[in-house]
């Protein structure tokens, strides 16, 4: 976190329960400061995506606190590379693509039983077996300008990780 002159981050708080945070000062000059903020979800959580908030105490009157939305992804044996399908900036009505590969970290075989996007703007090609994993090609054809968000629900035969959620995001601009 980079801060302006006069600010000195003095602490943090986290929520929900089980989310902990650490604040470390890296550099402090007259021009401002640089801090490292780490958020950790405690051991024993199931796999999945968890939303939380890190609240930073600023050391100034206004704003005395800054709330930073936080997303933590707890992984198990399955790995998505990359962890999300980001298609970038695209034009309305034109297709944008991103590739995601799902693998087991221990190299053991597994099966993907179903792949289902939650948006009509998103189509999936695959899964296609590749090097001990499965490739998914995410195709996004936005119908309106603005941010595009969704998710792909992947059903597997891996105990404890029967459902894997892959976030999809991008931004669409008007054609032209």
Over residues 38-57, the pLDDT tens digits come to 888 776 566 677 888 899 98
Measure Cα distances from 152 to 13, 51, 118, 121 in Å.
Answer: 32, 18, 6, 12
The pLDDT value recorded for residue 97 is 92
Per DSSP, 7 falls in state -
| CA-based torsion, 152, 155, 156, 159: positive or negative | positive
The pLDDT value recorded for residue 18 is 80
Please give the backbone phi and psi of residue 160, each rounded to the nearest 5 degrees, phi first.
85, -15
The pLDDT value recorded for residue 124 is 95
Measure Cα distances from 35 to 4, 10, 125, 128 in Å.
Answer: 12, 10, 42, 42
The pLDDT value recorded for residue 44 is 57
The pLDDT value recorded for residue 31 is 87
Which residue ranges of the chain lie beneath pLDDT 70? 43-47, 75, 175-176
């Amino acid at each position: 976190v980079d801060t302006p002159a006069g600010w000195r981050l003095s602490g943090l708080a986290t929520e929900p329960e089980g989310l902990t945070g650490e604040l470390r000062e890296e550099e402090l000059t007259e021009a401002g400061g640089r801090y490292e903020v780490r958020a950790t979800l405690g051991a024993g959580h199931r796999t999945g995506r968890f939303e939380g908030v890190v609240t930073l105490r600023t050391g100034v009157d206004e704003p005395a606190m800054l709330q930073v939305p936080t997303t933590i992804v707890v992984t198990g044996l399955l790995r998505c590379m990359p962890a999300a399908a980001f298609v970038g900036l695209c034009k309305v009505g034109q297709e944008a693509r991103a590739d995601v590969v799902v693998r087991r970290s221990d190299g053991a075989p597994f099966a993907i039983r179903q792949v289902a996007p939650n948006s009509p703007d998103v189509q999936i090609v695959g899964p296609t077996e590749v090097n001990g994993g499965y490739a998914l090609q995410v195709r996004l054809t936005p119908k309106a300008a603005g941010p595009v968000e969704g998710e792909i629900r992947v059903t597997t035969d891996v105990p404890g990780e029967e459902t894997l959620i892959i976030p999809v995001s991008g931004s669409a601009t008007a054609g032209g």
